Amino acid sequence: MNCGGQPTRVGKRVLHRVTTVLRGVFAHPLARLAVTLLALGIFIHSVNLGAALAKFSHLQGPWALLAMALTGLSVLASILEWGFLLRGAGGRVGWHYLGNWYMKGLFINQVVPAGIGSDAARAVQVGRRVGYGAVIASLVGSRMAGMLGMAFWGLAGAVVLNTVFHTNDVVGFALFSGLMLAMWALALVAEHLFAGIRGKERQSRSWRNNQVTERFATLLHSLGRYRGAPTALLLTILAGAIGWGLNLVSLEAFSRALGHDISWGVFALALPIALLVTFIPISANGIGIREGVLVFLLALFHVPVATATAMALFVDFQLLPFAAFGGVVHLSEVTVRRAHHRLIEVGNLEGSLRLLYPALRWLVAPEAITDLASS
């Protein structure tokens, strides 16, 4: 008996040690960079990148412009999705300020190879004005609203499209929708469910545990406040659904710009699966892997590989103009800060700064101007 159990215990220890080592290796930034470059290299080698890039030289202009306009509207819907929750729960902050920070968040996501770079920046900066619990709850809620919209559109696409995997698609996205609804319900009542655990932690002598518990309780309290703001909650969910729908129609429009009509339903089924790769910890934002998965899924719907590759590239870069605008907003704030200090020291501005200052002050949100004046 003991002899039979000993190898099992040894095997478990070895497996645990190997798992720990691998987790440490892949957590290292250089390892993630290496995996990302490897995945990107495999993707480039597996597709005809030249043929895909050639399609961009024959774009149908009106459809491409429509695709970008729809993308812009989806970005606007995302700002509303976040703002409805934050303002609905009592966050006293203007839409201009929220919009600027959302655009700067897009810029940060292009610079920092991490999917939560935008959320982290918004949590820190906007949290200084409205409280960290409120802003983190709004970010969590907006993510959940977006995922709920994604699930609903996926379910609609599965119902509309008659594919080989029709039943599996319908069941899968129905379960996804149910899961997101359950998560919303849990988020709204979690404050009460957590109260008992919080009381036990207060009796503990562990200062660290008490600190973690208190911070988590603050987050749950902020989420629970949405029960008293049903209008804001419904508007957020509606904005999330509209935003994802606009994104799907944008992708369909761009496929027509490439000369191949791909239904929004195809993207509603394929894109959520491809985006899951973003959360794989061994690659920076899933780069290389995400594109390969999307090309594979589009190929299942009889989309030519060159067109599928071009669509994968568009998904990667469709937010780039808006991220660039976020960079412009950041530079504007830096310039306004310099101009503000110069006005205090000298009393006037000279050269191009004097000409640009009125426009830059208009671009920068009033709250940011106040922050600059007090810094």
Q: What is the pLDDT of residues 105-149, one digit of tens each?
A: 999 887 775 556 788 888 888 888 888 888 999 999 999 999 999
Q: Is 52 in contact with 242 (CB distance < 8 Å)?
A: no
- In terms of Cα–Cα distance, which of 183, 28, 150 is closest to 78? 150
pLDDT of 207 > 60? The answer is no
Residue 318 has pLDDT above 90, yes or no: yes
Look up tokens 């208009």; give the residue: 362
User: Whole-angstrom Cα distance, residue 161 to residue 200?
Assistant: 51
Helices (H) and strands (E) in the chain, counts: 16, 0
DSSP secondary structure of 208-224:
HHHHHHHHHHHHHHHHH
The total number of structural domains in the chain stands at: 1
Structure tokens at 182: 């359950």
Task: Say what the pLDDT of residue 116 is.
Answer: 67
Lowest mean pLDDT among 4-8, 29-33, 197-201, 359-363: 4-8
Identify the residue with better confidence: 161 or 75.
75
Q: To 5 degrees, how large is the angle CA 253–CA 243–CA 297?
A: 55
Which domain does 216 fall in, by range?
A: 47-318
Predicted confidence at residue 24, as pLDDT, reads 60
Does any domain span residue 89?
Answer: yes
Provide, rounded to the nearest whole percent, the portion of the chain with pLDDT above 70. 78
181 pLDDT band, cuts 50/70/90, is very high
In a domain, 272, yes or no: yes
* Burial class (CB within 10 angstroms; exposed 0-12, middle 13-18, buried 19+) of 192: exposed
Give dist(CA 104, CA 111) in Å, integer.
11
pLDDT in tens, 232-271: 999 999 999 999 999 999 999 999 999 999 999 999 999 9
Burial of 359 (0-12, 13-18, 19+ CB in 10 A): exposed
Domain-located, residue 343: no
- 335 domain-assigned: no
For residue 158, tell me if it sits in a domain.
Answer: yes
pTM higher than 0.75: yes
DSSP assigned state of 365: -
- Rounded Cα distance, 324 and 278, in Å: 21
194-217: average pLDDT = 64
Q: Is residue 181 part of a domain?
A: yes
Within a domain: residue 170? yes
Residue 362 lies in a domain: no
Between CA 322 and CA 77 the distance in angstroms is: 14
